[in-house]
A and B are shown apart, each in its own frame.
Chain A
């Protein structure tokens, strides 16, 4: 049960990465760093300004989106359409720079933030659930739903999906694919920022946390299908649930092992994931 809740947050962490890949064929290995800045935004709000982190989610989104646009303009726009080795290296470089900047600003220590729900639990049948995690799940699920609506029911969203389907065809019918790409990347990065702030209400942040989040994000995307947002979200939930079951039945130190096995299995037998790779 708490695996489901945690998994929802893995889901929203991964949805942004999946979106950028679906539209631009870019794998942003610095996605975890965007999450990290979202987490620090929550720390700043909670510890320095005395504001509940959950109240600053729009600002977290903006923080993520702004860093994302900078990333895109400096690095990723040169790699649109090509998830190449160079693109991966550039993204990792980007991640290291973002980590260093965070280290300079915030130091290397682990920081936490508290929302009104932090540290509170409710008993639900046989389950003992963290309120912060329940709230995080609700926010993650509703945000994923909102993004899905944005993509499927608005003119802008349809243009994004058109670019994802066929950039050249999109251009010749009059869609400016560069601005669509920037917008989609900003959305992807904004989601990471928002997810970070939600996460920090129950999980401490350090400047290097991005790299420890990234495997889970990648596994969620691989299970769900890179590009498919709903699929990715469900992939995240699968990760959380599998982790939880392993920890309960076996050993919590080994909770990620089945996930890596699953990752390898998907790569070998179903690289497009459960839900394929189209953006929707």
Chain B
């Protein structure tokens, strides 16, 4: 059974159909990348999976368990973490409290402080800023916090929506490096990106255009695709 199985997914915002008939499976391990231009429907897919935007039709299952109708916090409890577009850290909570409130699901035997220390080990920068409010962090630090927050629930699948958006190339590089480390720890990653660096990290993926899958497969196939050559390599 797949860690995540998306079948004939349709997502609509009112009359606008943002995602049409999208199907893909993610197996345990590795980085699955979801590429697409602005407005392709990437965020809509992630929000449907995490229960923020219930789909119009189609099924989403994790290890055979149907996620339809679950509230976002129940999806989180099922081991699917979502690092949302725009980071969305809690601006008036300290870094430490951002992590603390993200530890309610208890998917681990670790104590709160140990879980936080794991995150601080991954992002030492956050440890230095632990008393600072989320809203006063730099964009890169907020992204680290958003990822760290998602790690607090010890998810099986970590979904990230354009983590490099708005970051300097150097910072984006750092974030992707950390994601590589997280992936090596055995955590499966679903990475939504427009940034071509994502391909270096990925094992499999798909390309989305106008809400539809135009290519699904190994990362080598994606790299050779016209979409990637055209958008990222300028060919």
Binding site for B on A (CB under 8 A): 155, 158-159, 161-162, 164-166, 168-178, 278-280
Is B73 part of the binding interface, using a Cβ–Cβ cutoff of 8 Å?
A: yes
Choice from A155, A169, A177, A178 contacting B100 with Cβ under 8 Å = A155
A interface majority secondary structure: helix
Residues of B within 8 Å of A159, CB to CB, are 101, 104
Q: How far is the CA of A171 from the CA of B72 in the complex (A)?
A: 5
Residues of B within 8 Å of A279, CB to CB, are 92
**B101 touching A176, Cβ below 8 Å:** no
Residues of A within 8 Å of B149, CB to CB, are 173
Nearest 8 CB-CB pairings of A with B: A171-B72, A174-B105, A173-B102, A174-B76, A169-B88, A165-B90, A162-B101, A172-B82
**A169 touching B73, Cβ below 8 Å:** no
Is B91 part of the binding interface, using a Cβ–Cβ cutoff of 8 Å?
A: yes
Residues of B within 8 Å of A176, CB to CB, are 71, 73
**A158 touching B88, Cβ below 8 Å:** no
Q: A165-B90, A166-B88, A168-B88 are in contact. List 8 more A-B contacts (CB 8 A).
A: A158-B100, A159-B104, A162-B90, A164-B92, A171-B51, A172-B52, A173-B81, A173-B150
**A280 touching B92, Cβ below 8 Å:** yes
Q: How far is the CA of A173 from the CA of B75 in the complex (A)?
A: 9
Question: Could you pull out 6 A-B pairs where Cβ atoms are within 8 angstroms?
Answer: A162-B90, A166-B90, A170-B101, A171-B52, A171-B73, A280-B92
**B52 touching A158, Cβ below 8 Å:** no
Binding site for A on B (CB under 8 A): 50-52, 71-73, 75-77, 81-82, 84, 88-93, 97-98, 100-102, 104-105, 149-150, 152-153
Residues of A within 8 Å of B100, CB to CB, are 155, 158
Choice from B88, B90, B102 contacting A174 with Cβ under 8 Å = B102
**A169 touching B93, Cβ below 8 Å:** no
Residues of A within 8 Å of B93, CB to CB, are 158, 161-162, 165
**A171 touching B71, Cβ below 8 Å:** yes
Q: How far is the CA of A78 from the CA of B82 in the complex (A)?
A: 26
**B73 touching A174, Cβ below 8 Å:** yes
Chain B, Cβ-Cβ closest to A165:
B90
Residues of B within 8 Å of A155, CB to CB, are 100-101, 104
Residues of A within 8 Å of B97, CB to CB, are 158, 161-162
Q: How far is the CA of A159 from the CA of B72 in the complex (A)?
A: 15
A21 to B: closest C-beta gap in Å = 15
Chain A, Cβ-Cβ closest to B89:
A169
Q: How far is the CA of A173 from the CA of B81 in the complex (A)?
A: 7
